Amino acid sequence: MQIFAIVVSLAIAAVGIALFVKAIREIIAVVKLGQPTASRTGQPQARTVTLLKETLGHTRMLQWTAVGVGHWFVFVGFGLLFFTLLTAFGQLFDAHFALPLIGHFVLYEWVTELFTWAMLVAIVAFIGYRLSRPKERQRGTSGRFYGSTMWQGYFVELVILGVGLCIVTLRGLEYALMNATGDDTSAVHFPLTFWLGEAFGGMSENALVNAIYLVAMVKIVISFTWMIVLSLNTTMGVAWHRFTAFFNIFFKRRADGGTALGGLQPMMVAGEPIDFENIEELDEDAAMGVGKIEDFAWKGILDFTSCTECGRCQSQCPAWNTEKPLSPKLLITNLRDHAYAKAPYLLADPEERDALPAEVKAEAERELVGATEGDPTLPSGGAVIDPDVLWSCTSCGACVQQCPVDIEHVDHIVDMRRYQVLIESSFPSELNGLFKGLENKGNPWNMSPNARMDWAKDLDFEVKQVGADVEDLDEVDWLFWVGCAGAYEDRAKKTTRAVAELLDLAGVSFAVLGDGETCTGDPARRSGNEFVFQQLAMQNAEVFKETKVKKVVSTCAHCFNTLKNEYSQFGVELEVVHHTQLLNRLVREGRLTPVAQSADRTGINGGGHSVTYHDPCFLGRHNQVYSPPRELLDVIPNTELKEMPRNSERSFCCGAGGARMWMEETIGERINLNRTTEAVETGADQIATGCPFCRVMLSDGLTAKQADGSAREEVEVLDVAQLLLASVKRTPAPRTAPTGDGTTTAPAAAGAATATAVLEKPTGEQAGKPEAVKAEPEPGDATQTEATVTEPADVGAAAEASTEPTPVPSAHPAEETEPADATLPDPATTDEPEASTEPGDDAAVQAQHEAAADEDAHPDAEKRGGDTLF
DSSP per residue, 698-745: HHHHHHHHHHTTSS-TT-EEEEHHHHHHHHHHSPPPPPPEE-TTS-EE
CA angle 810, 816, 822 (to 5 degrees): 105
Q: In 3D, which of 678, 618, 595 has the Cα closest to residue 642?
A: 678
Separation between Cα atoms, residue 197 and residue 203, nearest integer Å: 10
- Segment 176-194, tens digit of pLDDT: 998 888 776 677 899 999 9
3-state SS of 757-818? HHHCCCCHHHHCCCCCCCCCCCCCCCCCCCCCCECCCECCCCCCCCCCCCCCCCCCCCCCCC
Do 798 and 701 form a contact (C-beta atoms < 8 A)? Answer: no
Residues 487, 496 contacting (CB under 8 angstroms): yes
> Looking at residue 262, what is its pLDDT?
94
- Residues paired with residue 610 on neighbouring β-strands, in sequence order: 640
The span from the CA of 166 to the CA of 590, in Å, is 66
When computed from its CA atoms, the radius of gyration of the chain, rounded to whole angstroms, is 32
CA pair distance 404, 448, nearest whole angstrom: 46
DSSP, residue by residue, 93-111: H-TT---TTTTT-HHHHHH
Backbone angles phi, psi at 7, to 5 degrees: -65, -50
SS3 289: coil
pLDDT at 142: 66
CA-angle at 183, arms to 178 and 187, nearest 5° = 60
- Give SS3 for 551: strand
Which sign, positive or negative, has the C-alpha torsion 21, 23, 24, 28?
positive
Give the DSSP letter string of 320-342.
GGGT-S--HHHHHHHHHHHHHHH
Query: 189 in helix, strand or coil?
Result: helix
CA 258, 263, 264, 268 torsion: positive or negative? negative
CA distance 335 to 649: 27
Taking the CA atoms of 854, 855, 856 and 858 in sequence, report the sign of the dihedral they define.
positive
DSSP letter, residue 37: -
* pLDDT attached to residue 132: 79
Alpha carbons 307 and 331: distance in angstroms, whole number = 11
Other Cβ atoms within 10 Å of 146 Cβ, number: 21
| Amino acid letter, residue 819 | P
Q: Backbone phi, then psi, for 455, in 5-degree steps?
A: -60, -25
* Burial of residue 80 (number of CB atoms within 10 Å: 0-12, 13-18, 19+): middle
The rounded distance, in Å, linking the Cα atoms of 570 and 530 is 13
- Round to the nearest angstrom and report the end-to-end CA distance of the chain: 79
Residues in contact with 751: Cβ distance below 8 Å, sequence separation at least 6, in sequence order: 731, 732, 733, 734, 735
Cβ atoms of residues 755 and 732 within 8 Å = yes
In which residue ranges of the chain is pLDDT below 50?
Answer: 600-606, 733-870
User: What does pTM read for this prediction?
Assistant: 0.82
Q: Which amino acid is at 738?
A: P
How many distinct helices (H) and strands (E) make up the chain? 30, 15
For β-strands 744-745 and 737-738, DSSP reports them as antiparallel
Residue 144 is predicted with a pLDDT of: 82
Task: For residue 8, give the nearest of 88, 73, 82 by alpha carbon.
Answer: 88
Q: What is the pLDDT, as a whole number, of residue 593?
A: 93
